[in-house]
Amino acid sequence: MEPKYRNIILARESRGITQSELAAKVNGLTQGNLSRMEKGLFSVSDDVLRSISEVTNYPITFFYKEIIITKDDSLFYRKRNSMTQKHLSKLEARIDVLSMVIDELMHSVDIPELKIPHVEIDGDKNPEMIAFNLRRYLNVPSGPIDDVISLVEKQGVMVNFIEMDCDKFDGLTKFTVKGQPVIWINRDIPNDRKRFTIAHELGHLVMHLRSNNLDIDEFEAEKQANKFAAEFMLPMSDCKKDFLNLKYKDLPMLKQFWKMSKASILYRAFEIGSISQNTYRYYFMTLSKTGERKNESGIVSIAPPVLLNKMIDLHLNVLEYNKNEMTELLGLYFDEIANFFNGLGNSKKLRVSI
């Protein structure tokens, strides 16, 4: 059985390794031959494959797994244009690998069916109205959404935090090959930004990702998702009075209550007419002068995702897979599986039979 040449690319790019860097670390491998291997034009010897496995820290079984890559037209990136090509390639490769992991786990685990409706923007169905109606459809009570991750995961949308050494990436939504929608969120962005990004990506899922309109301008789609997220997380009917004649000293309290950034609250207050344009500009200048435009004070809490945790936990502690079986099943070393599991913010550690 021949290894899958595409998996060499995934292994390399998901670790942020260039062709020249990998070739330099594998004895007897030139970049030209590696390039041919990655195109399926040159066979890979067992020795070279073992070396590639060691350098990229993927088990040999990974290179034989059938990993199907979905089309990029199911993706919407936030701040994609400011990311380097290397960061983009690493992000896409990591998500392709982890999407395969999710699909493998789904063979033995039932998760909630997708209940999030698709609504086309049309006439009076603007992003704000769609967000307002979705809150009603999901029976969300008035006021702030306390646990937005639990809310969307109960509707069959998986949320996962992903480690990315790039602050230009906030989040994206992608369907796995088996059709599971997954919202991927940068693990290292502030929690208030995570919450807005989840709502933003939910907007894409509702309005864009299942749309027949494939010619939608991406910039316009981003604006629509932002409007959706603002109404979903800070509904005008609930927060207009809260923000009326807002004082700068009120921002810390409002941030903790609504669990949104001070910047988002200021923009929303101006957008719905609770403060004037001059007040809005003055408060934003004050945020900048105090350094809070880049690093706001006050930490907002966020509950971790649970669906993927439960899927892994079930395999380990109900189906009683051991470390070697998990590595064989998922094509990842167990340490990486455990790191990913616990990196989601899970409060307990993995228990596993040896």
| pLDDT (0 to 100) of residue 348 | 45
| % pLDDT > 90, the chain | 72
Whole-angstrom CA distances from 301 to 157, 192, 345 are 21, 8, 12
| pLDDT (0 to 100) of residue 143 | 95
For residue 353, pLDDT beyond 50: no
For the segment 234-254, what is each residue's pLDDT rounded down to a tens digit? Answer: 999 999 989 998 999 999 999
Give the pairing of strands 158-162 and 181-186: parallel
C-alpha angle with apex 320: 317 to 322, nearest 5 degrees?
110
Q: Is 291 left (phi over 0), alpha (psi -120 to 50) or beta?
A: left
- Read off the pLDDT band of 118 (50, 70, 90): very high
Query: How large is the average pLDDT for residues 173-187?
Result: 93
- Read off the pLDDT band of 345 (50, 70, 90): very low
C-alpha angle with apex 93: 12 to 72, nearest 5 degrees?
140
CA atoms within 13 A on the CB side of 243: 27
C-alpha angle with apex 154: 114 to 173, nearest 5 degrees?
60
Give the pairing of strands 171-175 and 181-186: antiparallel
**What is the DSSP annotation of 7-52?**
HHHHHHHHTT--HHHHHHHSTT--HHHHHHHHTTSS---HHHHHHH
| pLDDT (0 to 100) of residue 74 | 46
| % pLDDT > 70, the chain | 92
| pLDDT (0 to 100) of residue 264 | 97
Give the domains, in start order, of the chain with CATH numbers. Answer: 1-67 (1.10.260.40), 69-233 (1.10.10.2910), 237-298 (no CATH), 307-343 (no CATH)
| pLDDT (0 to 100) of residue 135 | 98
Between residues 109 and 135, which one has the greater pLDDT?
135
| pLDDT (0 to 100) of residue 304 | 92
This prediction's pTM: 0.91
Alpha carbon distance 148, 199 (integer Å): 8
Which letter, b or e, does each residue of 37-66 get, where b requires 16 or more Cβ atoms within 10 Å of its Cβ?
Answer: bbeeeeebeeebbebbbebbebbeebbebe
For the segment 189-218, what is each residue's pLDDT rounded down to a tens digit? Answer: 999 999 999 999 999 999 999 888 767 788
Tokens linked to 284: 């934003």
